[in-house]
Amino acid sequence: MKSKVTLSLGLLSSALFAEIKTTAEQQIFGSGFTFKDIQAPATNDFGTKATWKIISGKIDQNSGGIAALHDGKVPSNDDTPRENFFFAAGSNGGLVHVDLKKSVDLKRITTYSRHFQNRGPQVFDLYASRSGEPPKGAADLKNEDWVKLASIDTRRPNRSMGGRHAACLTGTIGRFHHLVFDLKPTEKKTPFGLTFFSEIDIVEADGPELIFLPSANPAKVIRFATKDKKFSFIVDTSDSPQYEKWIKDDLSPVILEWYPKIVDLLPSKGYEAPQKVTLQFKNNVPNGIPAYATGSFITMNARWFKNQLRKEAKGCVVHELVHVVQNYWLAPRLNPNPRQTPSWVTEGLADYIRWFLYEPESRGAHYPPAQIRRMKHDASYRISANFIDWISRNYQKDIVTLINDDARHGRYEENLWKAHTGSSIEELARAWRAQK
Ligand SMILES: [Ca+2]
Ligand SMILES: [Zn+2]
C-alpha cells in the first residue's frame, strides 16, 4: 500500500487496493484549479463519455445537476451552487453511479471540489465492478462483483476547509465497467456539509491525449505577524499582484498596529479574538461592495481598491478588522437564545473605530450639529458612528466596549443603552440631535 502526501496536506485516506496510489491537495489561496502534483481537470477524459446517474440520495435543488460532474468545467467562484453537483442539504449524501458502458482500463480518477467553507473537502468511498451488471442500490455494492478502490477524506484537523480540493487515484487501478462514488457529508453541525463537487475525471490507460483546463496563476501570498507573534496575517494577492507594494509598505503597518488595538478595545471575559486573519483580494466581488468579512476571512474587492489606495482603502480594512474581532457570529455558541444585533449597531461600532479612532483627522463621520438635527441615530455606518462617539464623550466612555460585549453574547436589546448610560435610546437620540 503506497500513499503519497503533497502540499503538507495529510491524506486521511487509505488506498485499499494493492497498486493504487491516492493523493489529495487543497488550495486555500488563489482561485484556480491548479495543484502542485495533481493534474488540472481535463475536458476530454473518459468520464465525459460515460453515463452518470444518482442511484441513492437526493440531489440538491440548487445544484447544477449531475452533468456538473463531467462537463469539463469548474466553478468560477467559491460559492456557486449551479456550477457544482451536491446532494440535498441536511442529507447523508448518496451514491453516484458511472456506467463506462464497457470494460475500461483505468489509469487515473480525480475528483475536484470548491467551496469557501465546509463544503470544500471531500469524504467518499469509491467502488468498482468488472461485471456488466449495473448496481440497483447500495446493497449491491456488497456483492462479490464489487470492490472498494479507496476511502478518501481530504479534511485535515486544524486546517480551514475552504478552497479547492482535489483527490486522485493513480497506479494500476484495473479494468472496470462500473464505478460508484459513495459521497458523504463533511460535517453534520449544519445542513450545509454536502461537498460542492465540481468535476470528476476518469482517465483510461490508452485514451487520447488529454486537453486540460487552462492553469491558473500560482497563488501568491504576503505574510506578516505582530512582534509578539500573537497575531498573524496572510494577504492573498493572487488576483491582484499590483497591490503587493502597497500591502507591504502601507497596509501591513496599519493592520499590525490596529488589529491588537481593536482586540484590546473589544474584550469579553474569556474571549479570544481570532489570531490568524486572512485577507484576499478578488476580482469578482460585485460592484458596490468594497469588502466584507466572514469569520476571520476578509474579502476585498480588487476593482474597488484600485482608486482608493490613497483614500479609503486602509480605513475600509480597519472597518473589516473590527468585524473579525466583533465575531458576532459566535453569539449562537455563547447563548442558547441569542438575540440578533441590529446592523446599525454592528456597522456603527465598526465605523466608529474607523472614523473616530483610526482616522479622526479625515473627519469622514464628523457632521455639524445643523446636519445632525436631520439625522437618525440608527441610519447605520458613519451616522451611527457619530452617535456612538457622542455618547462615548458625553455619557459613558466605555460604551463601545460595553455594547460590543452585549452583542457578542447575543443579548443586545435597547434597554441596555439605559443600563449603560442612564438614558434610554430615545432620550440619547433626542439629545444627540439637539446638540449645539
Ligand atoms: Ca464540472
Ligand atoms: Zn461593515
Write out pLDDT tens, residues 343-390. 999 999 999 999 999 999 999 999 999 999 999 999 999 999 999 999
Give the residue from 204, 234, 260 where a domain finishes. 204
Task: Report which bound ligand comes closest to the CA of 343.
Answer: 2
| pLDDT number for residue 7 | 35
Residues 289 and 287: their CA atoms lie apart, in Å, by 6
| pLDDT number for residue 282 | 87
Q: Do 337 and 321 share a structural domain?
A: no
User: Is 211 a domain residue?
Assistant: no
CA of 402 to the centre of ligand 2 (A): 19
Task: Report which bound ligand comes closest to the CA of 198.
Answer: 1
User: Is 309 a domain residue?
Assistant: yes
Alpha helices, H only, 235-353? 244-246, 252-265, 302-305, 313-326, 331-334, 343-352
Task: Report which bound ligand comes closest to the CA of 47.
Answer: 1
CB distance 365 to 348 below 8 Å: no
Q: Do 289 and 175 share a structural domain?
A: no
User: Is 426 a domain residue?
Assistant: yes
Task: Report which bound ligand comes closest to the CA of 71.
Answer: 1
SS3 140: helix
Residues of the chain scoring pLDDT < 70: 1-18
Q: Do 174 and 115 share a structural domain?
A: yes
Give the residue from 269, 298, 326 where a domain finishes. 326
Residues 73 and 67: their CA atoms lie apart, in Å, by 10
CA of 254 to the centre of ligand 1 (A): 41
CA of 410 to the centre of ligand 2 (A): 18
CB distance 93 to 131 below 8 Å: no
Q: How many CB atoms lie within 10 A of CB 393?
A: 11
Q: Do 322 and 334 share a structural domain?
A: no
Q: What is the pTM of this model?
A: 0.76
| pLDDT number for residue 256 | 98
Q: Do 268 and 171 share a structural domain?
A: no
Residues 259 and 43: their CA atoms lie apart, in Å, by 45
Paired with 350 in beta bridges are none
Task: Report which bound ligand comes closest to the CA of 349.
Answer: 2
Provide the CATH number for the domain around residue 81.
2.60.120.260
CA of 227 to the centre of ligand 2 (A): 28
Task: Report which bound ligand comes closest to the CA of 291.
Answer: 2
CA of 33 to the centre of ligand 1 (A): 12
Task: Report which bound ligand comes closest to the CA of 69.
Answer: 1
Q: Do 419 and 318 share a structural domain?
A: no
CA of 378 to the centre of ligand 2 (A): 14
Q: Do 291 and 252 share a structural domain?
A: yes
Q: Do 399 and 368 share a structural domain?
A: yes
CA of 323 to the centre of ligand 2 (A): 7
CB distance 87 to 159 below 8 Å: no
CB distance 171 to 20 below 8 Å: yes
Q: E strands within 154-227? A: 163-183, 197-204, 221-225
| pLDDT number for residue 216 | 76
User: Is 103 a domain residue?
Assistant: yes
User: Is 210 a domain residue?
Assistant: no
With a CB cutoff of 8 Å and minimum separation 6, the contacts of 189 are none
Structural domain containing residue 252: 220-326
CA distances from residue 392 to 213, 324, 349, 356, 417 in whole angstroms, order as listed = 56, 22, 11, 11, 12
Task: Report which bound ligand comes closest to the CA of 48.
Answer: 1
How many H-runs (helices) and E-runs (strands) does the chain carry? 11, 14
Task: Report which bound ligand comes closest to the CA of 353.
Answer: 2
Task: Report which bound ligand comes closest to the CA of 289.
Answer: 2
CA of 363 to the centre of ligand 2 (A): 18
Q: Do 80 and 169 share a structural domain?
A: yes
Provide the CATH number for the domain around residue 317.
1.10.390.10
CB distance 20 to 150 below 8 Å: yes
Q: Do 279 and 236 share a structural domain?
A: yes
User: Is 20 a domain residue?
Assistant: yes
Task: Report which bound ligand comes closest to the CA of 328.
Answer: 2
| pLDDT number for residue 5 | 35
| pLDDT number for residue 18 | 56
CA of 112 to the centre of ligand 2 (A): 33
CA of 324 to the centre of ligand 2 (A): 10
CA of 330 to the centre of ligand 1 (A): 34
Q: Do 105 and 120 share a structural domain?
A: yes
| pLDDT number for residue 10 | 37
Place of cell 476518469: 202
| pLDDT number for residue 112 | 98
CA of 40 to the centre of ligand 2 (A): 37
Give the residue from 169, 204, 239 where a domain finishes. 204
Q: Do 299 and 232 share a structural domain?
A: yes
Give the count of domains, the chain: 3
| pLDDT number for residue 302 | 93
User: Is 377 a domain residue?
Assistant: yes
User: Is 118 a domain residue?
Assistant: yes
CA atoms within 13 A on the CB side of 182: 18
Nearest residue to 147 (alpha-carbon basis) of 249, 327, 17:
17
